[in-house]
Structure 1
Amino acid sequence: MATTFSAREFNQDVSGAKRAADNGPVVITDRGEPAYVLLSIAEYEQMRDRRSLLEVLQMTEDIDFEPVVSRTLPRAAEL
């Protein structure tokens, strides 16, 4: 669970916020609304290096594919 600091608390205790960031994200609020998140560099790098689902599923090589052309004609609908 993230620790929360108000902007005022953060300004008065930056060292405390840094210590808290060693244990997980620190949410910094501005007028009661979340505005910033302080992370340790290790957490940031882990998050930055994580690949998205789109990147995982993306195929980088071409696939040789020859579609079969259908020679059958459609039938007229019976109503």
Structure 2
Amino acid sequence: MTVTTLPIQDFIQNAAEATSVANNEPVFITDRGRTTHVLLKFSDYQRLIREHRNMAELLAVPDMADIEFEPIRSRETAKPADFS
């Protein structure tokens, strides 16, 4: 599944296009670089509520466990947590 991310200003200007994309995949909407909303089909939302699954499970990429990922562990790239 591809991931579509739109800054909120692009979403405002292209809401029709965003809803068209959301027919096939979730659309993540960001504000100042932080994800603030997810646009998805109402039927997907209903399924999410009905199955009592969390959003992470619904949006999970199939076969993610098969992807090799080794994060860079360095004090230079580490940032303090932002809990705001």
Q: Unaligned stretches of 5+ in structure 2?
A: 54-84
- Structure 2 distance, partners of 1:18, 1:47, is 18
The TM-score normalised by the length of structure 1 is 0.61
Q: Which has the larger radius of gyration?
A: 1
Q: Unaligned stretches of 5+ in structure 1?
A: 53-79
RMSD: 1.1
Secondary structure of the residue aligned to 1:27 is strand
The equivalent of 2:33 in structure 1 is: 32
The equivalent of 2:3 in structure 1 is: 2
Structure 1 stretches of at least 4 aligned residues deviating more than 2 Å after TM superposition: none
The equivalent of 1:13 in structure 2 is: 14
Trace 1:41-60 onto structure 2 (pairs within 5 A): 41-51=42-52
The TM-score normalised by the length of structure 2 is 0.58
Amino acid at match of 2:24: N
Task: Tell me the number of residue pairs that the alignment of Structure 1 and Structure 2 aligns.
Answer: 52
Amino acid at match of 1:46: R
The equivalent of 2:71 in structure 1 is: none
Secondary structure of the residue aligned to 1:34 is strand
